[in-house]
Structure 1
Amino acid sequence: MLNLEGKVAVVFGLANKRSIAWGIVQKLHEAGTKLAISYQNERMKAEAEGLINDLPGAEAFQCDVSNDAEIDQVFAQLKERYGKLDVLVHSVAFAPAEELKNDFVHTSREGFRVAHDVSVYSLIALSRAAAPLMSEGGSIITLTYYGAEKVVPHYNVMGVAKAALEATVRYLAADLGKQNIRVNAISAGPIKTLAARGIGGLSDMLKAHADRAPLHRNTEQAEVGSTAVYLASQLASGVTGEVIYVDSGYNIMGF
């Protein structure tokens, strides 16, 4: 395992032990990172804090990333507590449940807005707030999915939002590179998270993935976490604006 002692990381998007964020948090903790971990609201507080308390030295912060005032508040707290940031992990995505049930052509204006605000604009807002604390450079990491490139049944507006997210990664990388801040995305294979359970046909998606991927299995949280540690480390010092696949090779297959 890489050694990231002395590094400070903030992770947004922890919901429960099935969260991709939890897999990333565990690996960053193993690498020695000082961790600030954010959950969305009071409803998620008990479960999130229960997990965070199992990681000695990690601290919990509440932040709804669709609220600029809460973003400002949490980054003021981070500045006071740590003085700097080295790593930002954006593991946040949401679309109203009804948008993932009907045909994409029936996407509502409000559903489209919400999906892009929470899943995409939040990365811009968090990066803007984090950049002044990354005075020694840093690594910003977000999570995407193959549905950004190819049509995945029932993924609908989230696929369009993930495509926008991947473009956002490139534009942020271009903007922040002069500050030695790298911005990358991990495209993880389907994982049975709380958010993924809202997608119709998830079981079929998981089976198809395992059947067709070169490694003939689904992706594990820990594998995504290990890639995040790599992107957070100096081993990835020349990597920015990229989408890195952690999907057992599924994306390389034609059929």
Structure 2
Amino acid sequence: MGILEGKNILVAGVTMNTSIGYAVARIAQEEGATVVVSNFGRAMSLTKRVLQKLAPVPALIEIDVTNADHLANLPQTLREVGIDRLDGLVHSIAFANPETALGGKFLTTPPEDVKAAVEVSAYSLTSLTMACKPLFGGTASVVGLTFDATVSWPSYDWMGVAKAALESTSRYLARYLGPEGVRSNLVAAGPIDTLAKKAIPGSADFNTIWGERAPLGWDATSNEATAKAVVALLSDWFPATSGEIIHVDGGMHAMGA
């Protein structure tokens, strides 16, 4: 019996098989969960194709976290694919305009692009959680993904600010939803060669930094270790952990110069 046996999990934000969310969906299924995956717009066709690699093929639903109707209708959308209770939510969603908000353009980013980065990458953790809340049972686990926002990183710019907001948002969700049995935690991953990472100008430098400084070493081509941490947090093995950030980065976060 797997550690997610009998649980229903929504994994929001899967595009390619390199996505952390994809590995979470695969491992969650292996651990006994029924998984539903979401994406939106033109990316839906890519998601649909990549999900064919999984057995069983998870249901795919459309959720644009900036679309109020999508959020309001989410419980009904899940019921239509056979899910009337949610035990876990994985927030694998982030966006910042690479032309204006990343790659060293921090000082000149227009406010509308800052707003978009924070809304999609941070506020959506709350809006999506609250959209799912009517289907949460007695307990539920919300897990998001971050990239250590306690320091500034080259090229990461307003995404770094958005991730700092995400980390704070998770702590407040832990505060306000904890009395209802909902845990909120984040996994801080090292650099992984996802589609999103490749959109960040200069992001290849992160691999060099991790290769030199992570004491356990780091494989930027593998999403497995990060996904396993997410699945563990979705399970009942962390019943009293909330508001936490689990680092899966080869130990890099603990190293000095």
What amino acid does structure 2 have at the position aligned with 1:29?
Answer: Q
Give the secondary-structure state (helix, strand or coil) at the position aligned to 1:196.
helix
**Residue type of the partner of 1:86?**
D
The letter for the 2-side match of 1:231 is L
Greater Cα shift, 95-104 or 192-201? 95-104
Greater displacement, 10-19 / 72-81: 72-81
Instruction: Choose the corresponding residue for 1:233, options 220, 224, 235.
Output: 235
Across the aligned residues of Structure 1 and Structure 2, the Cα RMSD in angstroms comes to 1.4
SS in 1 for 2:72: helix
The 5 A counterparts of 1:26-175 are 26-41=26-41, 43-55=42-54, 56=56, 58-80=58-80, 81-98=82-99, 99-146=101-148, 148-175=149-176
Matched, 1:243 2:242: no
Q: Is the 8 A contact 1:34 1:57 kept in 2?
A: no
Distance in 1 of aligned mates of 2:144 and 2:26? 16
CA distance in 1, matches of 2:110, 2:86: 38
Structure 2 residue aligned with 1:16: 16
> 1:25 Cα deviation (Å)?
1.0
CA contact (8 A) 1:100 1:198 kept: no
Cα distance in 2 for partners of 1:210, 1:79 equals 45
Please give the TM-score of this superposition, normalised by the length of structure 2. 0.94
Q: Report deviation, 1:223.
A: 0.7
Q: Residue 3 of structure 1: CA displacement?
A: 2.6
In structure 2, give the amino acid aligned to 1:5: E
% identity of equivalent residues: 37
Matched-pair contact (CA < 8 Å) for 2:191–2:207: yes
CA contact under 8 A between 2:121 and 2:166: conserved in structure 1?
Answer: yes
8 Å CA contact retained: 2:103, 2:202: no
Following TM superposition, by how much is the alpha carbon of 1:110 offset from its aligned partner in structure 2, in angstroms? 0.9
Shift of 1:119: 0.5
Unaligned runs of 5+ residues in structure 2 are none
How many pairs are equivalent? 253
Whole-angstrom distance in 1 between the partners of 2:104 and 2:119? 21
Give 1:8 shift: 0.1
Q: Once the two structures are superposed, what CA deviation does each residue of 1:42-77 show, in whole Å capped at 9, x if it has no partner?
A: x11222112223320511111111111112223212
Q: Per residue, is there more helix in 1 or in 2?
A: 1
**TM superposition score normalised by structure 1:** 0.95
Q: Which residue of 1 aligns with 2:180?
A: 179
Give the residue type in structure 2 aligned to 1:67: N
Partner of 1:216: 217
AA aligned to 1:214 is: P
What is the deviation of 1:150? 0.8
Q: CA offsets per residue over residues 66-111 of structure 1, 9 Å max, x none?
A: 1111122232121352110000000000001121123311121011
Q: Secondary structure in 2 aligned to 1:167?
A: helix
Report deviation, 1:20. 1.1
Provide the C-alpha distance between the structure 2 equivalents of 1:22 and 1:35, rounded to a whole number of angstroms: 11
Alpha-carbon shift at residue 130 of structure 1 (Å): 1.4
